[in-house]
Structure 1
Amino acid sequence: MQRFTSPRLWTVCCWMFILTCGPSIGPASGFEPNYDESKIPDYTLPDPLVSQDGAPITSAEQWNTVRRPELLDLFEKHVYGVSPKPCPIRHEVVSRKTVFNGLATRSEIDVFFGLADDAPSMRMMTYVPNERSGPVPAFLGLNFQGNHGVDADPAIELNPGWFREGRNGTTDGNKANEKSRGATASRWPVKMILDRGYGLATIYYGDIDPDFDDGFKNGIHGALGGQVADVAPESRWGSIAAWAYGLSRALDCLESESELGVDTSKVAVIGHSRLGKTSLWAGASDPRFAMVVSNNSGCGGAALSRRAIGETVGRINTVFPHWFCDQFTEYNENESACPVDQHQLIALIAPRPVYVASASEDQWADPKGEFLAAAAADPVYRLLGTRGMGGDAPPAKMPAADRAINRGVIGYHLRTGKHDVTDYDWQQYLDMADRHLQ
C-alpha cells in the first residue's frame, strides 16, 4: 500500500480540508458521506456467540476458551494488527508536586519501552487525591495536545515532540508553544475527578507513535517493529494498536510504582475519537483494565462498520492509512466481507463494565451505530452473568439525548452537542465508575 512519507505535506493536506469541512472530517478525496438511513446497505452482523466453525457458544467456558481467543485473533489480523509481546519497562520519576491547594499530588514519570539507555519513552502525568486511606481507582487515557495541554501550570514541561499543526496559534510548525498550555483542559476536568475520589493518569499519544504516516519508522513502531517480523506484513500493528500497547505499558508502570497511589485493579481506560478506538482495543486486548470508556469513537471504534454511514472503512483507511493494519483495506467499501464488526469488539471487554458515548451533532461517527453495537454486545455480557445494558433485554431503540442508559454493565448516552468531551460525559463515566469500581 502506498504511504505518505512527508509529515509536513500530510499535515497541510489534513488542515486544508479540516478548515473547509469541520473538525471531525479528514482531507478531501471526493468522498460524499451518506447520512440517509434508508441508503444503508443490507447487512447481517456476525454473531459473537457462534464460533468460526458454526458451533453455538452457550457457556462462559466456551466463550473464554474458544470464542474470545478466536475473535481477538480476527481483530488482530484483520483490523488493528498484531502487536509485539509486552516489553520490559523501566521508569523515572521526573517531578512530584502538591497541587490544587493541597487537594492532590501530581507526578510526572518517564516510562521507557525497554531497559536500554536509548529506549524510547513516554511522559505519564498522574494526579491522586491526598485525602485517601489507600490506593484509589483511577482513569487512564491518552491526550492529543500534550500533558501541558491538560493543565496550564507552567511547571509542567512543554512536550518537545512532534505535534499536528494546531489552531489558534498553539504550535509553531509541528512544535508546541506556550499558547498550547491548558488548550484541552476542558476535556480533562481534573478537579472534578479528584473530588469524586479518583486518580487520573494521562500521556501524550504522540510520545508513543506520532500521528502521521511514514511507513511505521517512528515511535515505538521503529523501536519494536522487528519483534513482529514473523507476522504477515498485512497483519502487523497499526498506530491504534501501538497507542493501546502504550496504555498497557503505562498500566505496567502504575503496578510497579506503588507510591503513585493508584489501585491498579481498578483502572478505567478512557479515550476520545481516535483515542476512543484505542481505549476499546486496549480494553479488549488487555483484561487488566477494569472498565473501558469510548467517547465519540465512530468508525473503527464503537460504530458498526457494516452500516457504512458517515465515515466508512474505505474513507478512514484512505485518510489515515497508518491507524489500522493493511489487511483492513480489503474491506474498503466492502464492510460485510470483514469477518468481525465492532459489537464483537465491545463484547471482548465482557464481563467488565464498558461505556459508549455519542454526540447528537457528530453524525460522522454514526451515533446510532455506536448504540446498536453496544446493544448487540449485550448477549455476551448476559452469558457471562451480568445484566448487560440492564433490564430483561437491551433497549429496543436509542435513548433520547442526555438520557443515559446506565443500569447495567454496558452504559450508553447520546449527548447534545458536537464531537468533544464535556463535563456531562465525565459525570456519566464517574457515575459508572462509582457503581463498579468504588
Structure 2
Amino acid sequence: MPYSSSFHFKEADELPSIPDLPDPLLSPDGTRVETPGQWMSMRERLKAMVAFYMFGDVPPAPTRVDALTLSTETARDGSRTYTLLDIVVHDIGGSGQDFAFRARQILPARATGERVIVKNSGNPLEPCPIEDRLVADGIELVTFDRTGLAPDGPAMDTGIYPHFPDLKIKVLGAWAWGHMAVNTWLYTRNPDASSPRICIMGHSRGGKATTCAGIVDERIDVVTSSGSGCGGAGCYRGAADMNPKVETVGNITRSFPYWFADRLATFAEREDRLPFDLHTLKALVAPRALITTEGNQDYWSNPIGTGVTCRAAQPVFDLLGASDRNVVYYRDGGHAQNEKDWTAIVDFFVRVTE
C-alpha cells in the first residue's frame, strides 16, 4: 500500500473543513458510486489516501515463506499440538536475505486447515481464553510476535525496516506486513489443500494493525479488532464530544508518532480536515467480513464512535451484497480482549465461513 501512487493528495493546510463523515461512495468529481465495478476504482484511490495520510507504506506480500519448527509439545490427551515456530521470509525485499520472526501454533488434532485464526501480539505464548473451544471446532491458532517485525518504539534499525530502505514504513504497517507473511505461509504450506479461511485478530494497538492488514491483504476472510479506538475502529471526528475521555489524533500522535505516517499529526485538533475517517477503513474491507468488539466502559477507545463509523460504512457493504458482514459486538467492561470477545469473534468467523 504505497502512497507514492498516481493519485495526488493535498496537505492538511490545503484541505477544507468537512464536519461530517466523508461519504465513501462520493467520487472527487461529485458523482456517486453506484456499482461494484465503480467501487473497485474508488477503493484503489481510498487505499492510497489512507496510506498517504495515516498508515504509510506497507511492503507487498512476500511470495516465499516457510515455517521452521523450534519445538513441539503434544497435549496429554492428544487433542492438540503446541509448536514454536520461526516464520521465515525468503529474499525479503529482493535482498537475497532471509528474515524470521517468532510465532506459536496451536493445532487441534482434528484440524483440517480450513479455518485459521492469526493473532498479532507482543507475546506469542499468550494464553487463549477459549482454547478448548477452538480445539473442539478444529480451528488452528497462530499467534506471532509483532515486535519481531518492528519494535514498539521509534527505533527503525531493526525488524523489517532495513530491508525496505525506499519505503516509508511505520510500526502499524510493519505489523500488518507480519500478517501478510503468515498468510503467505498458510496459503503455500500445502499446495494440495484448498485455500484456508483466515481470521485475523488484534487488541488495542494490535487491532489497529489488523485494520491495516485487512485493507491491504484480500486473502483475509474475517478482519477483527478489539478496543482499537483512535486509528482503528473508532472515529476521528468529534471524538472528544462523544466522551471527554476519548483518545484523539493529537493524543495518539504525540504519544506514539512512530505508529503512523508523519502526516497524521498535522490533523491534530483539526480532524475535520481529513478527507476520510475510520469508517473508510471499514468500507475498504468489504465485501469481506468485519467484526469489532468493544467494552462499553472502554471510553479511551471510543465505543460510541465505533458504532458511528460502523453505520457509516454500511452503505458500501450493502452495495457489495455483504449487508450482514459489518458487525460490532458490545459487552460491559473496560479495555481488554476477553473470553466474551473471543467467543463473539469465533462465532462470527464460523458463521460467515460455513
Give me the TM-score of the superposition, normalised by structure 1.
Answer: 0.71
> What is residue 307 of structure 2 aligned with on the other side?
371
* Matched-pair identity in %: 28
Contact (CA 8 Å) 1:143, 1:204: kept in 2 or not? yes
Q: Distance in 2 between matches of 1:188 and 1:118?
A: 37
Task: State the Cα distance separating 1:360 from its structure 2 match.
Answer: 1.6
Q: Distance in 1 between matches of 2:194 and 2:139?
A: 10
* Equivalent of residue 152 in structure 2, options 203, 211, 216: 211
| Aligned residue type for 1:84 | P
Contact (CA 8 Å) 1:124, 1:250: kept in 2 or not? no
The answer as to 2:41 corresponding to 1:71 is: no
> What is residue 316 of structure 1 aligned with on the other side?
252
* Equivalent of residue 136 in structure 2, options 186, 189, 195: 195
> What is residue 161 of structure 1 aligned with on the other side?
none
Within a 5 Å distance, the mapping from 1:349-364 to structure 2 comes to 349-364=285-300
- Long gaps (5+) in structure 2: 1-16, 241-245
Contact (CA 8 Å) 1:265, 1:290: kept in 2 or not? no
Task: State the Cα distance separating 1:330 from its structure 2 match.
Answer: 1.4
Question: Taking structure 1 as reference, are residues 117 and 382 closer, same or farther at Cα in structure 2, changes over 3 Å only?
Answer: closer
Task: State the Cα distance separating 1:315 from its structure 2 match.
Answer: 0.8
> What is residue 434 of structure 1 aligned with on the other side?
350
* Equivalent of residue 253 in structure 1, options 163, 185, 205: 185
* Equivalent of residue 411 in structure 1, options 323, 327, 333: 327
> What is residue 94 of structure 1 aligned with on the other side?
70
Task: State the Cα distance separating 1:253 from its structure 2 match.
Answer: 1.1
Q: Distance in 1 between matches of 2:121 and 2:131?
A: 13
The answer as to 2:326 corresponding to 1:385 is: no
Within a 5 Å distance, the mapping from 1:144-183 to structure 2 comes to 144=122, 146-148=123-125, 150=126
Q: Distance in 1 between matches of 2:279 and 2:297?
A: 22
Deviation digits for residues 198-247 of structure 1 (CA, Å, limit 9, x no counterpart): 11111011111110112x222111232x142xxxxxxx221001100111
| Aligned residue type for 1:143 | S
Task: State the Cα distance separating 1:102 from its structure 2 match.
Answer: 0.8
Task: State the Cα distance separating 1:141 from its structure 2 match.
Answer: 0.9
The answer as to 2:237 corresponding to 1:306 is: yes
| Aligned residue type for 2:221 | A
* Equivalent of residue 100 in structure 2, options 121, 129, 139: 121
Q: Secondary structure at the match of 1:44?
A: coil
Question: Taking structure 1 as reference, are residues 263 and 410 closer, same or farther at Cα in structure 2, changes over 3 Å only?
Answer: farther
* Equivalent of residue 35 in structure 2, options 59, 62, 71: 59
Question: Taking structure 1 as reference, are residues 341 and 42 closer, same or farther at Cα in structure 2, changes over 3 Å only?
Answer: closer
Q: Distance in 2 between matches of 1:263 and 1:237?
A: 33
Task: State the Cα distance separating 1:89 from its structure 2 match.
Answer: 3.6
Question: Taking structure 1 as reference, are residues 54 and 359 closer, same or farther at Cα in structure 2, changes over 3 Å only?
Answer: same
Contact (CA 8 Å) 1:80, 1:240: kept in 2 or not? yes
The answer as to 2:163 corresponding to 1:223 is: yes
> What is residue 219 of structure 2 aligned with on the other side?
288
> What is residue 169 of structure 2 aligned with on the other side?
237
User: Whose radius of gyration is greater, 1 or 2?
Assistant: 1
Q: Distance in 1 between matches of 2:77 and 2:124?
A: 20
Q: Distance in 1 between matches of 2:96 and 2:82?
A: 26
Task: State the Cα distance separating 1:126 from its structure 2 match.
Answer: 1.3
Question: Taking structure 1 as reference, are residues 218 and 363 closer, same or farther at Cα in structure 2, changes over 3 Å only?
Answer: same
Contact (CA 8 Å) 1:308, 1:335: kept in 2 or not? no
Q: Distance in 1 between matches of 2:129 and 2:118?
A: 11
Deviation digits for residues 302-351 of structure 1 (CA, Å, limit 9, x no counterpart): 01111232100011000001000111111111111111110010010001
> What is residue 341 of structure 2 aligned with on the other side?
425
| Aligned residue type for 2:270 | N
Q: Distance in 2 between matches of 1:210 and 1:301?
A: 19
Contact (CA 8 Å) 1:84, 1:227: kept in 2 or not? no
Contact (CA 8 Å) 1:89, 1:111: kept in 2 or not? no
Question: Taking structure 1 as reference, are residues 379 and 107 closer, same or farther at Cα in structure 2, changes over 3 Å only?
Answer: same
Q: Distance in 2 between matches of 1:50 and 1:256?
A: 38
Q: Distance in 1 between matches of 2:187 and 2:76?
A: 25
RMSD: 2.1
| Aligned residue type for 1:139 | I
Question: Taking structure 1 as reference, are residues 143 and 293 closer, same or farther at Cα in structure 2, changes over 3 Å only?
Answer: same
Deviation digits for residues 342-363 of structure 1 (CA, Å, limit 9, x no counterpart): 0010010001111011112210
Question: Taking structure 1 as reference, are residues 44 and 100 closer, same or farther at Cα in structure 2, changes over 3 Å only?
Answer: farther
Question: Taking structure 1 as reference, are residues 52 and 424 closer, same or farther at Cα in structure 2, changes over 3 Å only?
Answer: same
Q: Distance in 1 between matches of 2:321 and 2:206?
A: 29
> What is residue 24 of structure 2 aligned with on the other side?
48
Q: Distance in 2 between matches of 1:90 and 1:294?
A: 25
Task: State the Cα distance separating 1:191 from its structure 2 match.
Answer: 2.2
The answer as to 2:309 corresponding to 1:332 is: no
Q: Distance in 1 between matches of 2:312 and 2:71?
A: 45
Task: State the Cα distance separating 1:49 from its structure 2 match.
Answer: 0.5
Q: Secondary structure at the match of 1:56?
A: coil
| Aligned residue type for 1:122 | F
Question: Taking structure 1 as reference, are residues 80 and 104 closer, same or farther at Cα in structure 2, changes over 3 Å only?
Answer: same
Contact (CA 8 Å) 2:73, 2:82: kept in 1 or not? yes
Q: Distance in 2 between matches of 1:42 and 1:417?
A: 33
| Aligned residue type for 1:327 | R
The answer as to 2:58 corresponding to 1:83 is: yes
| Aligned residue type for 2:303 | P
